[in-house]
Structure 1
Amino acid sequence: MTQLPHHRLPYAIQADPDSAHGYGEGTPMPWWLRGGHAQTIIPARFTRRPPRVGFRRERWATPDQDFIDLDWTTHAVQADTPLVVMFHGLEGDSGSHYAQALMHALSLRGWQGVIPHFRGCSGELNLAPRFYHSGDSAEIRWVLERMRQHHCAGGRKLLVVGISLGGNALLRMLGEDGSGAAYVHAAAAISAPLDLAAGGAALSAGFNLVYTRMFLQTLKRKSLAKLEQFPGLFDRDAMLASRDLYAFDNVVTAPLHGFADTDDYWRRAASKPVLRDIAVPTLVLNARNDPFLPARHLPGPADASAQVWLEQPEHGGHVGFMTPPAGWRRHLPLQADGRFGGHIEWLPARILKFFDSMM
């Protein structure tokens, strides 16, 4: 197994011949894409995506009489290749830009991928009086143990990716289980909000409220539907009055999932305190200009075990990491089709390069 340098903090940005800034290893970003907000929004909304990946949906009954939906890739799978499980971010799903990019990269290799949806994120409201949350290590554990039993027999390697909220929940599970999670061959957490209190505070001020309002639109809609299932489950008026995630979590997320309040939830669900306990080779990638988590709250070498690779490039935004097109088109912000020039293929390539080094 090839060992990568541990705890590169801050990540060494290597100069590219055509760019003074990038993501390391000589990889540039578009010269015109400046600032964490642009590097978050444009890759997610306004740039070219890989060809859309097809899925086969499977439904699993959960131990609490609920269900989750999993989307499996349908491309041809090469023999003796690993299974890659990806847990999505807050209000994400298998159609999210990062999910499509990673699954497309797997299709080019002939590797199988699967995206388990958190409760209520597959397009159909779940049945139990609960949703999902940033520290839902029990759900991650249940899914991965079932993957091991039914899909990774005979030595097939299990590789796991968590994006944003899914990354935090994955890291919680890996830290809580320590060596007990050794059936996971390697893992990667991308743009995980490792310090939930710091991230929550960041999302409650300034331009970041744009992201918060976007999340609350769908969270409130689901919450109203949940109240139709379970009248009186929480305070409807207080939920509708919430203007940030702190207020929403105080009314809905925390009490529905066994926490006293938002402060208790964010403290107990944060993954940064358990990075020291992770025993599985794990890449933890956070851009230092991610609007969702200020760089001063990112972990340092003393915060993580020897099995954790900390990578913190100066640029990338929140699950952005956009790179320019090839040739002369890299100099043009807008392309002929009206989209911003660039692609989002660096991130899946980085994840798979890390996994390759662990094989």
Structure 2
Amino acid sequence: MPILTSTYKPKIYFKNGFVSTVYSGLVRKVSLEQERERLTLSDGDFIDLDWSFSKEKSNACIVLLHGLEGHAQRPYLTGAAQLFNTNNIDAVSVNFRGCSGEINSKFRSYHSGATEDLVDIIQHLILEKKYTNIYLKGISLGANIILKYLGERDIIPSEVKAAIAISAPCDLNGACLELHKLKNAAYANRFLSHLKASLRKKIEKFPNKMTMETFNGIKTLRDFDNSYTSKAHGFIDAADYYKQSSSLQFLHNIKTPTLIINALNDSFLSPACYPVKEAKHNKNLFLEMPVYGGHVGFVDKNNVYYNEKRALEFVQSLS
């Protein structure tokens, strides 16, 4: 499809990518009442789902996936859930394995290409919850998972009607290289600190899986993926993990209407994370590249973010 022209025009101080990113991650607040459901996964592990509902009974549901070291109470999920709830669409905000405040039962956890849990969640919504209209929305890491899920398989359940990917690191190696640059040092250090804290709990539970010498040798995000992510999830090393899990290679095969919104001033994204060629050659892929927005920082009026409004508009346009 043709590349979409963005109408996003933030206030002057939110045109700065760093300001919009930090404000959205650390300052924004959204109040939302949620109900937790624990889902047993195909491999026997568990995942926690946090539900919020529209006032009237609905046959539609949006699945919301968070980013690296996020959870279902992050404002970029609760904000979207609240908006969709007020438009008669239920919302299930997913906590990836180990992200709901309780360590999961296996040494593995989640990663940028782990689509198998999304398969289980969608089947649960169709078979147990009886939803006939399912929408998917992912943020950052969650966006890559959704894009990979839609493109890596030839058959998607007919109940899945549309998807939205926000600040999607379609090329994981490129995004990793960007995160390791000096401009992103504060973000990278924060991510690494959270990841290592979670991994330390894993090692306490599974002391035979990793030595403290290996743990102490993790100094960067790539080190983390070399030492833990790749080894715990069946990849050779970080490079193999990035190669197999990047959604860019699967975009040509997406048959579900899908909107990607990646800001041009997103300091996390490499040039390959803007899939212009893929969007131009796939009628189901809509790419919007606002000048501003940083990384998941599309601040707008009344605490409803631009990307959230665009997600709702996109879903409604397909009805």
User: What is the TM-score with the length of structure 2 in the denominator?
Assistant: 0.94
Distance of 1:213 and 1:190 partners within structure 2: 22
Q: 1:24-173 counterparts in 2 under 5 A?
A: 24-25=6-7, 27-47=8-28, 49-50=29-30, 52-73=31-52, 75-153=53-131, 156-173=132-149
What letter corresponds to residue 215 of structure 1 in structure 2?
Answer: F
The answer to whether the Cα contact below 8 Å between 2:58 and 2:90 also exists between their aligned partners in 1 is no
- Tell me the equivalent position of 2:170: 194
Any idea what the Cα deviations from partners look like across 1:212-266, whole Å, max 9, x if unmatched? Answer: 1111112111111111111121243333332321111000001100100000000
Distance of 2:183 and 2:2 partners within structure 1: 31
Distance of 1:277 and 1:76 partners within structure 2: 33
Would you say 1:272 and 2:248 are equivalent positions? yes
Would you say 1:358 and 2:318 are equivalent positions? yes
Distance of 1:235 and 1:197 partners within structure 2: 26
Distance of 2:265 and 2:216 partners within structure 1: 31
What letter corresponds to residue 22 of structure 2 in structure 1?
Answer: I
Whose radius of gyration is greater, 1 or 2?
1
Distance of 2:267 and 2:130 partners within structure 1: 37
- Tell me the equivalent position of 2:288: 311
Number of paired residues?
Answer: 318
2:160 aligned counterpart, secondary structure: coil
Would you say 1:7 and 2:2 are equivalent positions? yes
Offset at residue 30 of structure 1 (A): 1.1
Would you say 1:228 and 2:223 are equivalent positions? no
User: Which shows bigger deviation, 313-322 or 142-151?
Assistant: 142-151
What letter corresponds to residue 287 of structure 1 in structure 2?
Answer: A
Structure 2: gaps (5+ residues)? none
User: Which shows bigger deviation, 93-102 or 192-201?
Assistant: 93-102
- Identity percentage of aligned residues: 32
2:43 aligned counterpart, secondary structure: coil
The answer to whether the Cα contact below 8 Å between 2:39 and 2:46 also exists between their aligned partners in 1 is yes
Q: 1:277-296 counterparts in 2 under 5 A?
A: 277-295=253-271
For residue 215 of structure 2, the aligned residue among 239, 258, 270 is 239
User: What is the TM-score with the length of structure 1 in the denominator?
Assistant: 0.84
Distance of 1:76 and 1:285 partners within structure 2: 26
Query: Per the alignment, do residues 209 and 344 of structure 1 end up closer, same or farther by CA in structure 2, a change over 3 Å counting?
Result: farther
The answer to whether the Cα contact below 8 Å between 2:263 and 2:293 also exists between their aligned partners in 1 is yes
Distance of 1:182 and 1:202 partners within structure 2: 37
2:67 aligned counterpart, secondary structure: coil
The answer to whether the Cα contact below 8 Å between 1:290 and 1:318 also exists between their aligned partners in 2 is yes
1:32 aligned counterpart, secondary structure: helix
Distance of 1:76 and 1:137 partners within structure 2: 27
Coordinate RMSD, CA, aligned: 1.8
